[in-house]
Amino acid sequence: MQQSTIKIGLSACLAGDKVRFDTGHKKSNFCMDELGKHVEYKKFCPEVAVGLPIPRPTIRQVRFGDTIKVCRPDGTGDVGPKLTEYGKRVATEQTAELSGFVFCAKSPSCGMERIKIYNEAGTGNTSEGIGFFAEQIMVHNPLLPCEENGRLNDMHLRENFVMRVYTYKHWQTLNEQPLTVHRLTQFHAQYKYLLMAHNYEAYRSLGNLLGTFDGEDIQTLADEYILGLMTALKKPASRKNNANTLMHLQGYFKKSLSKIEKQELRDAIDEYRQGLVPLYVPLTLIKHHLKVHPNEYLAKQVYLDPYPNELKLRYGI
């Protein structure tokens, strides 16, 4: 897949910028030292953008009746409306070029989920809030892969996020030229086994969606397709589903491998299924056999190489 540079939105503190309330940062080593070798970042600090100084008093989400403010612990200095306005402006004017977004966890402006909302007296809180800036980005860009720095410490969530970023970038690149049913069908064909590993029902339903298209409105078809694809890929693939997908891939070599080679591949898949080896072990064998016994259709499957191998994301899942 030939693509232009991937751009990802990033909370500026995760880049190491000293923009936090205490003049500190929360640099993400994965984002900056590993993923950063393959992507470009567009940095945002909504709190600074709406005029808050560095350093500054801490702010948090506080519920006043039916209203949630983003303010100091004493209830003063509400910047909630400004954060919402800024978030809407960024979401509608500056995200078209982005293929993903990484937010700072637990932030009242940037957190994706489980943000503490304090009561007016400051004596208790619930973890049900969404950062005011992050919420606008996500609401206005439902297809955009989004994640928090803390969740990226989970290898399965990390792999899943990067895979979705590269998938969405592929889709954006596809849309740089007018869509046709043929191009859309070719795109889907490349994602057959990636979809199968994540959601077999979505794999079947999206195939049926394309197969029954009547030629009326290609844009409506495309919108429905990509929403279904990105939704299906959002949940990390289970070990069982990956193993079943690997068995399907093994079928392409049933006439070309020796009895010993077939058994070796079956054993590698079974060891993965049992959790004894990571995913890259059976995949490495399959890619080796593919080099020896070329298959054009199989070689185009995104499942085999959804992102740069240098990231080593399948070493830990």
Instruction: Print the SS3 string covering the chain.
Output: CCCCCEEEEEEHHHHCCCCCCCCCCCCCHHHHHHHHHCEEEEEECHHHHCCCCCCCCCCEEEEECCEEEEECCCCCCCCHHHHHHHHHHHHHHCCCCCCEEEECCCCCCCCCCCEEEECCCCCCEEEEECCHHHHHHHHHCCCCCEEECCHHHCHHHHHHHHHHHHHHHHHHHHCCCCCCHHHHHHHHHHCHHHHHHHCHHHHHHHHHHHHCCCCCCHHHHHHHHHHHHHHHHCCCCCHHHHHHHHHHHHHHHCCCCCHHHHHHHHHHHHHHHCCCCCCHHHHHHHHHHHHHCCCHHHHCCHHHCCCCHHHCHHHCC
pLDDT value of residue 3: 61
Domain spans in the chain, listed from the N-terminal domain onward: 6-153, 155-317
pLDDT value of residue 1: 45
pLDDT value of residue 135: 98
Mean pLDDT by 10 residues, the chain (317 residues): 82 97 96 97 98 96 95 95 98 97 98 95 91 98 97 97 98 95 96 97 95 88 97 96 98 96 98 97 97 97 97 95
pLDDT value of residue 216: 77
pLDDT value of residue 286: 98
